[in-house]
Amino acid sequence: MARQWLRVTVAQAIPLRRRCALGGTAVDMRTQTVDWAAVNADPRFRDLHRRKSRFLWGLMAFSVVYYFLLPIGAAYFTDLYKVKVWGPINFGLLFALSQFVVAWGIAWFYARKAAHFDALAEEIARDADRIGVARSGRR
């Protein structure tokens, strides 16, 4: 019974005409397809992809290096990590706790930068009808 209900619901939920995510205009999905090669060839898309990849790889490298500084420092720089900062609190404990602060900082920084990338992607998506949507039969 549940499968039949799901099948009917899904079939009814997919109309022939729907709002296209690339600008919100009504599009007949049977007559338009996105030419992804044209979108990929757009210089704005290439620039966005290059900048976003560079940013993410750099952020990941920083995260991994900072994460592994704790066990490497604890293994090879034990005298530094034993330095008392305040009462029973030593440098090693503060550095370990800083991992949380840095993780939240990375998340905040990523969210701000992602908003910029999303704005660029939205601009490209709005222009997709000009650069990457081809009517069937006119490729």
Condensed to tens digits (0 to 9), the pLDDT of residues 76-135 reads 999 998 999 999 999 999 999 999 999 999 999 999 999 999 999 998 888 877 776 554
In a domain, 15, yes or no: no
* Residue 29 included in any domain: no
Give 86: exposed, middle or buried? Use CB within 10 Å, 0-12, 13-18, 19+: exposed
User: What tokens does 87 get?
Assistant: 């009462």
**Domain range for residue 126?**
34-135
What is the per-residue pLDDT for 124? 86
Q: What is the pLDDT of residue 55?
A: 96
At residue 41, the pLDDT reads 86
Residue 57 resides in a domain: yes
Structurally, the chain folds into a number of domains equal to 1
- 20 in a structural domain: no
pLDDT at 53: 95
Contact 24, 35 (CB under 8 A): no
Residue 116's identity, in one-letter code, is H
Task: Dig out the tokens for 34 from the structure.
Answer: 């996105």
Condensed to tens digits (0 to 9), the pLDDT of residues 119-134 reads 999 988 888 777 765 5
Task: Say if residue 136's pLDDT is above 90.
Answer: no
Within-domain flag for 6: no
The answer to the question of residue 107 being in a domain is: yes
* Per-residue pLDDT tens digits for 5-45: 444 344 444 443 444 444 455 545 455 576 778 888 889 99
The answer as to whether 88 is a domain residue is yes
- What distances in angstroms separate CA 67 from CA 12, 77, 98, 99, 138, one per listed residue? 49, 15, 10, 7, 53
First-to-last CA distance in the chain?
44
Whether residue 3 is contained in a domain is answered as: no
* Helical spans, DSSP H, in the chain: 2-13, 36-41, 43-76, 78-81, 91-126, 128-131
